[in-house]
Structure 1
Amino acid sequence: MWKHALFWVRDLVLAVFIALVVILFLYQPVKVEGTSMLPTLTDQERVFINKFAYRLGLEHIQRGDTVVFWFPGDPSKSYIKRVIGLPGDRVEIRQGYVFVNGYPISEPYVPDDYRDRSSMPAIVVPEGHYFVMGDHRSSSNDSRHWGPLPARAIYGKAVFAYWPLERLGIVQ
């Protein structure tokens, strides 16, 4: 009986060790600061980001991904925003609605009362860059203000919210 219990304890310790290695080296906990990603992410919410999916080529950055990056205006600060435009895309905003390559994009994550009613002339996202925006459009400092984001500034993809517990789940 003790032998069976020792095997069980060994397996449990091994599982916890593997989980810690994955969490500490593949994922990084990040605290959201500010309201620019409401309602998707709240101020002070904690999320895990995947640090290696993009860098190792396991995933490619897609429109709609929520990414964490070093802010181009001050690389000591990190921001979290949603990818709207990919390299080569033509992005335009008409009265708060985003058009990519001439077509309106579906944005179910932006409630109507969070939509900024301003417009922005069309720009073409340069190669090696992305156009990013916060979901709370009227309170977000994003590519509309400082231009397309260099790909090299992106260091992770938000994948899982873990705190507060009532917000536990996959980041959409």
Structure 2
Amino acid sequence: MRNPPEKNTGSKRTKSLLREYTEAIGIAILLALFIRAFVVQAFKIPSGSMKTTLLIGDHILVNKFVYGIRLPILNKEILHFSNPKRRDIIVFQYPVDPSKDFIKRVIGEPGDTVKIIDKKVYVNDQPLDEPYTVFTDPKIQPAGVSPRDNMGPVAVPPDSLFVMGDNRDESYDSRFWKFVKLDALRGEAFIIYCSWNQDGELSLSSSESYIRWNRIGKLLH
């Protein structure tokens, strides 16, 4: 006796393919969320406080794994690898408004003493070699007028960092709002993966808009 022919094989095949695509997309989304939460996250530079190391319109990747593993929702570190070192470029929650992320360079590590005399930075009474710095305002402010050019000495607490922007005359940093807590760290910036024009926008209709090809792939130091 002959078996009746199977029906709706095309419909079953379509459902099977749809399920495979749905599962693949779901896995890709979960993997992307995992990477963003624990491994690497992209950020855009909105200001000139780190120029010329970083320019407005630079898009960077931040290594969130280098210092430890932190649960994003609870903001609790579950594994600790190391603390940021002097001259590391870090992204962190802005102490005055944690809903914002800032990027600066580490100047003082926990336990360090930092002071500034006529724009020159001293850490533990030793002048700091800083080839990355830029000064856009030649005026040197007298001591006691502003912490921008003259400050300290201040002692960095055991759980904190003293950070500054490379563009010293146009950076709002630890000179004004003091320290960054270690538990506010997002990670270490390590590469520029894309860079738009000075306004940070890309417009194909504008002759003044362009991609900075020479900055793409630049490692940050």
Structure 2 length-normalised TM = 0.65
Match for residue 173 of structure 2? 142
* Deviations, residues 9-67 of structure 1 (Å, cap 9, x unaligned): xxxxxxxx8xx869645111110110000000001210000011112444431000000
Alpha-carbon contact 2:46-2:56 (below 8 Å) kept: yes
CA distance 1:142–1:48, shift in 2 (3 Å): same
Match of 1:156 in 2: 187
Displacement of 1:86:
0.3
Cα 1:114/1:162, change in 2 over 3 Å: farther
Q: Any unmatched runs of 5+ in structure 2? A: 1-27, 70-79, 141-148, 196-212
Shift of 1:110: 0.6
Relative to 1, partners in 2 of residues 1:49 and 1:82: Cα closer, same or farther, differing over 3 Å? same
Query: Aligned equivalents of 2:139 and 2:159: distance in 1?
Result: 27
Q: Is residue 81 of structure 1 aligned with residue 104 of structure 2?
A: yes
Q: Which secondary structure does the structure 2 equivalent of 1:111 belong to? A: coil
Displacement of 1:112 in angstroms is 4.7
* Structure 2 residue matching 1:74: 3-state secondary structure: coil
Matches within 5 A, 1:86-101: 86-101=109-124
Question: Could you list the runs of 4 or more consecutive aligned residues of structure 1 that deviate by over 2 angstroms after TM superposition?
Answer: 20-25, 56-60, 111-117
RMSD of equivalent CA atoms: 2.0
What are the ranges of 5 or more consecutive residues in structure 1 without an aligned counterpart? 1-16
State the partner residue of 1:131.
162
* Cross-structure match for 1:29: 42
Structure with higher helix content: 1
> Structure 1 residues 115 and 83 mapped into 2: Cα distance closer, same or farther (>3 Å)?
farther
Structure 1 length as normaliser, TM-score? 0.82
- What letter corresponds to residue 161 of structure 1 in structure 2? I
Identity of aligned residues (%): 38
Larger radius of gyration: 2
Letter in 2 for 1:54: Y
Aligned residues: 154
Shift of 1:111: 3.2
Contact 2:135 2:168 in 1 (8 A): no
Counterpart CA distance in 2 for 1:68 and 1:81 is 7
What residue in structure 2 maps to residue 55 of structure 1?
68
Instruction: Note if contact 1:49-1:157 (Cα within 8 Å) is conserved in structure 2.
Output: yes
Matches within 5 A, 1:110-125: 110-113=133-136, 117=140, 118-125=149-156
For residues 126-170 of structure 1, what are the alpha-carbon distances to aligned partners after superposition, in whole Å with 9 as ceiling and x for unaligned?
010000000001110100000011111111100111112321211
Counterpart of 1:167, as a letter, is R
> After superposition, what is the alpha-carbon deviation per residue over 1:48-93, rounded to whole angstroms, capped at 9, x for unaligned?
0001111244443100000000101111110000000001000000
Note the C-alpha offset of 1:121: 1.7
User: Which amino acid is 1:33 matched to?
Assistant: P
Report the 3-state secondary structure (helix = DSSP H, G, I; strand = E; otherwise coil) of the residue aligned with 1:161.
strand
Instruction: Answer 1 or 2: higher relative contact order, Cα 8 Å, separation at least 6.
Output: 1
